[in-house]
């Protein structure tokens, strides 16, 4: 029941999205624009400072993630569909997991474009340790989206949701950004510093566990009026 509900929510979001690709295209373009803006801000005499590539990657993920979160829940708010979902006799944490998976998939699509783009623009050896990099992106995205989904879902009721989401999200996800940036930077060093990277990855994974558990625990009382 739990898994089925979550997958049904994911399928529903996917079916809506595949028709227009609205969120995918807009967030993707936004992420690319972020990368370019930061490039213009950082690159001097044709050279980016060392460690700029991981920083820009994670900033782009965080910014476009915020946008995707806002848009996804705006869609649910528009026709009061989330209220309908909450009224359905299904376990509420499953709704959360379904929405969370949707956001993670969206951001994963973003990252599929962002990583090669940054590798291309900054000459960063992104593909030296592909599995570790993928693990970083997966853990970081889940941690960011776990907090983001919970807050975006709750902010739907608020009039000032557009501005409150980033205000709440960024201070809380700073450790995610630090772990992501430092870990990716360790991977991009030559030679790659694997012990440091795996240490950051472990912290990131611990955050995943804590955030998802906490969100599942609080989602039910938070969403009931």
Partner 1 sequence: MKKLFGPLAVLAAVLFAVAPFLIANAPYESTMLLIQKIFYFHVPSWIGMYCGLAVAAVASVWYLFKGSKAADRYAVSAAELIVVFGLNGLISGPLWARKAWGVWWQWDVKLTSALLLWLMFVAYLLVRKYGGPGSEKLAAAVAIFGAAVSPFVYVSVNIWRTMHPKTSVVPDIIKNPQGMAAPLLVSMAAFVVLFILLLNLRVALAERQDALDELYLALED
Strand, coil or helix: 44: strand
Q: Which of 178, 188, 189, 194 binds partner 1 (CB under 8 A)?
A: 178
CB of residue 103 to partner 1, shortest distance in Å: 17
Quick check: 199 binds partner 1 (CB under 8 A)?
yes
Quick check: 86 binds partner 1 (CB under 8 A)?
no
Contacts of 20 (CB under 8 A, 6+ apart): none
Selected range binding partner 1 among 70-78, 104-112, 114-122, 165-173, rule: CB under 8 A? 165-173
Quick check: 158 binds partner 1 (CB under 8 A)?
yes
Quick check: 150 binds partner 1 (CB under 8 A)?
yes
Quick check: 210 binds partner 1 (CB under 8 A)?
yes
Cα separation, 126 vs 144, in Å, equals 21
CB of residue 54 to partner 1, shortest distance in Å: 13
Instruction: Fill in the per-residue mask, 24 to 43: x = in contact with partner 1 (CB under 8 A), - = not in contact.
Output: --------------------
Which of 49, 163, 144 minimizes the C-alpha distance to 106?
Answer: 144
Q: At what angle do helices 92-122 and 194-223 cross, to 10 degrees?
A: 150
Sign of CA dihedral 81, 2, 151, 21: negative
Q: Which residue has the tokens 């940054």?
A: 118
């Amino acid at each position: 029941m739990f898994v089925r509900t979550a997958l049904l929510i994911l399928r529903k979001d996917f079916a809506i999205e595949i028709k227009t690709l609205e969120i995918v295209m807009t967030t993707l373009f936004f992420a690319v624009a972020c990368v370019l803006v930061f490039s213009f801000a950082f690159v001097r005499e044709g050279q980016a400072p060392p460690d700029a590539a991981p920083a820009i990657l994670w900033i782009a993920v965080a910014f476009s993630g915020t946008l995707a979160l806002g848009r996804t829940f705006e869609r649910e708010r528009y026709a009061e569909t989330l209220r309908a979902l909450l009224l359905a006799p299904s376990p509420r944490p499953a709704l959360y997991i379904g929405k969370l998976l949707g956001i993670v998939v969206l951001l994963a699509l973003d990252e599929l474009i962002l990583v090669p783009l940054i590798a291309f623009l900054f000459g960063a050896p992104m593909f030296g340790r592909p599995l570790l990099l993928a693990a970083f992106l997966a853990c970081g995205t889940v941690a960011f989206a776990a907090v983001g989904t919970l807050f975006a879902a709750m902010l739907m009721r608020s009039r000032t949701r557009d501005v409150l989401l980033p205000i709440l999200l960024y201070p809380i996800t700073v450790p995610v950004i630090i772990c992501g940036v430092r870990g990716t930077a360790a991977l991009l060093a030559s030679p790659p510093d694997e012990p440091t990277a795996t240490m950051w990855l472990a912290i990131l994974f611990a955050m995943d566990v804590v955030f998802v558990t906490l969100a599942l625990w609080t989602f039910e009382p938070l969403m009931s009026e």
